[in-house]
Amino acid sequence: MNIVVLSGSPRKGANTDTMVDAFAETARESGHTVEVIRVASKKIGGCLGCQYCFAHKGECVQKDGMAGVIESLKEADMVVFASPIYWFDITAQEKIAIDRLYAFGATGFPFAKTALLLDSHSDGVYDAAIAMYKAACAYCKWDDQGIVTISGMTERDSMASSPKLEEVRELARRLA
């Protein structure tokens, strides 16, 4: 399976990257192809809602960092959304990339499977992100492969010693 991970963490080398790396490494060991795209490091503008993509076979009117992301997603069987939680939701960088998936509204989504990886400092802050993800899965008819949340990320390297990192690896192992 060809998997694309969209990582919304603006902090390179921090906890979300550790989580994403564990997922990607385990999925590759299981025979999958994995591409990690750090959407937070790309210059991506918000969706304009202009419907240009509907008249141009999914091509966006904006010529920015999302163009390459869209090309990668065209070959994906599965997309994993990964983000730290900032102020009770995914990062703005992750959300802006998700909003730009609107371009697939004209052509249909090439991927059918998705998963969600979230990390945070505190427990009890995941409701908004999970609700948005589940609503998107239902509306877009994506097959949710799993959701993993890991709290307790008090330091930049907290993820490396989190016992819950095994849940991320297990999610990657059970993909078919």
Per-residue pLDDT of the chain (176 residues; tens, 9 = 90+): 999 999 999 999 999 999 999 999 999 999 999 999 999 999 999 999 999 999 999 999 999 999 999 999 999 999 999 999 999 999 999 999 999 999 998 899 999 999 999 999 999 999 999 999 999 999 999 999 999 999 999 999 999 999 999 999 999 999 98
CA–CA separation, 80 and 97 (whole Å): 13
Q: What is the dihedral of CA 151, 24, 79, 77, to 10 degrees?
A: -150
Structural domain includes residue 36: yes
Q: pTM here?
A: 0.97
Structural domain includes residue 176: no
Structural domain includes residue 166: yes
pLDDT value at residue 158: 97
pLDDT value at residue 94: 98
Structural domain includes residue 104: yes
Structural domain includes residue 131: no
> How many structural domains are present in the chain?
1
CATH code, 59: 3.40.50.360
Residue 147's nearest CA partner among 23, 32, 25, 1 is 23
DSSP string covering 25-83, please?
HHHHHTT-EEEEEEGGGS--PPP----HHHHTTT--S--STHHHHHHHHHT-SEEEEEE
pLDDT value at residue 106: 85
Structural domain includes residue 132: no
Structural domain includes residue 128: no
DSSP string covering 139-160, please?
HHT-EEEEEEEE----STTGGG
Which domain does 59 fall in, by range?
2-123+140-171
Task: Give the distance from CA 92 to its chain's centroid.
Answer: 12
CA–CA separation, 145 and 147 (whole Å): 7
pLDDT value at residue 147: 98
Apex 88 CA angle, 8 and 69, nearest 5 = 20
Structural domain includes residue 134: no
pLDDT value at residue 105: 87
